[in-house]
Structure 1
């Protein structure tokens, strides 16, 4: 087995930089590089000088040794904690390479952890989710996956399915007339109660779970000067957009990132929709309509003090009537509108809750384990289809053999989530998305 190495900290300067070495030669490479006369002690920090090929110090810092199998990868691992200078870290890594290590491929440390049984494939994907989580809510969900909760859920479903397949295959040894019809009814009942219902409940979480990590795009559209930029600044908590009473101030698409109930949101402010002879403004309006066409959610905004803006002229998911502080309270607005004053902050909390609901938000007290990966969702949908196909085939001995085959395929589909079976092609795809040092 090769010994691999990589810089494990993010690019750029920092107080600390870490080089990770994993493989059978990890301790020998470190000993040569630091001029050590005795082996490293497991899981104890040791101060040392990091020497170049001529024995001159490149840097100094701490060494941490994790012997196999009690390490992240399951192999011998040594971490060099040096100063976070990109120049120094590159020099240290080149020195490690010169002593026999090779550069790690993207995700190769975690891939070795999977291959050595330190974690399953789903947990490995959770490592990336933890790194990429843009909100605390997403990070907590990723941690649940990393701790193995999702894998245990899938394993439990696979165990139930194994029992059902065993019952079906046992029947293949008996004449058809000896198998009562009640037996098949019981199998279908167990299939529905113990597999299909839990699977459907899990699949129902996928839209929101995937949005926690992929984020959503929300576009604000409407006539000029209805308060779109004011709402963007208010929701994002930043003075990102220029606000002016002059119509047409916003001429291009303006984007700002923020979180809404823990959901990462890219909020888009657009040029006011109106007829214009100005070429630049026309281009801004064209881009506004394009943004509305690709957004996950569209907010159409109107001005309570200007009835000419009340017909938004675009399809939207949420309709907002702004500037209600400028009109009498007895004005009868169209029922589809949320009433707010972006300037005074009135109605904003209700609007935020409404937007979160439309994005599939689950109350925190009710949030359980979520499907957060499209790959997992696709495998579970595939497994569900095989389960239903098998249920339709229960009956005579020929079709029962096919039913068992369909259910074994369902088992394999769920097993691919955990990395079971012939999944080399899946490993290649999953780990290509990792950073080098992980």
Structure 2
């Protein structure tokens, strides 16, 4: 069946527009509750959210839908996405829900689902929930309606859990760390964890007002964090996104290291320690060609998946691998978490700094990247420009011009009406020319 609601990472859209309306959220909650409710007895869901104003509306609507089909709901308030995955399993819930549009602006919102094992749902499970959204279903009898309870210690549980990912023998004493929380879900938990581990913490993006999430801050706009690192003479900068499942690392000069560099560091260190399962790192088709070459040079393998941390995790689970992620900063370490966790990934980098005594700039650039260019082309909803003959011809021509010197990846975004045109090539002039040519054709067709 076609996917009307679910994209690459749950359901997402502009708040108070379909499907992010209160009425549809109520139907989504009821559908998810029916899917996870098996027979009589106690069933429970946990709901977390980031700091968007619309989160109140969606939280209430989802709660109404879930309780109407007999699910008890536990409301966590603002917590990182990985906290919801962890607490779903820890609290023996049947499902977990995170209300967040991740790195998107405040006017967007989204709904992400976790199963009882703390992992995001499969395509098959999402398809079944979609059929129930459209088809509806019975409500429970009055004496079976669920109840809603607000949980006050959800953030505290997560902060204590996050600290267990940092080696017990180590401390962050003497390190000055800038942490940019994007005015999002980790605005309290991330500074707490770093301070409790001994660091001097300089927080940025910790004053959410419902509308400033990801605004001029966070992992998608690291300028403020970089300026703060330099101004305060900090040893490191950590930039999270709105729901804290992504991270970018900034060295003491303000230079940014993306998810590919962080994965290379973690995979290499874990391989040296005999901890990297299958000597394989899992990443998406978006990860830089330089990462692949670096791993090959170390005798390690790179498995590529479709874009989306959910697909990375599925490949990791299917093959028994324990480290994976995305260039965008989703880093998944199955030894600790079931989904991307920006803070726990940052703690792995900090552990490397403490153990080696090296500066961030000496650790953050693990390999030389192949020049990469990404151009996003906005298209009209409902159009399919990638099926256009002229677009296909432009792609074929670009691939022929690159030959063995690079690669192309052109795909539709799973969360926005965009076509993403990405190319990698050691010849930067050729790279710019090919990407521009394809993007122009996509724009004409869309």
Larger Rg: 1
TM-score normalised by L of structure 1 = 0.19
Task: Give the helix-richer structure, 1 or 2.
Answer: 1
| Bigger RCO of structures 1 and 2 (CA < 8 A, at least 6 apart) | 1
TM-score normalised by L of structure 2 = 0.19
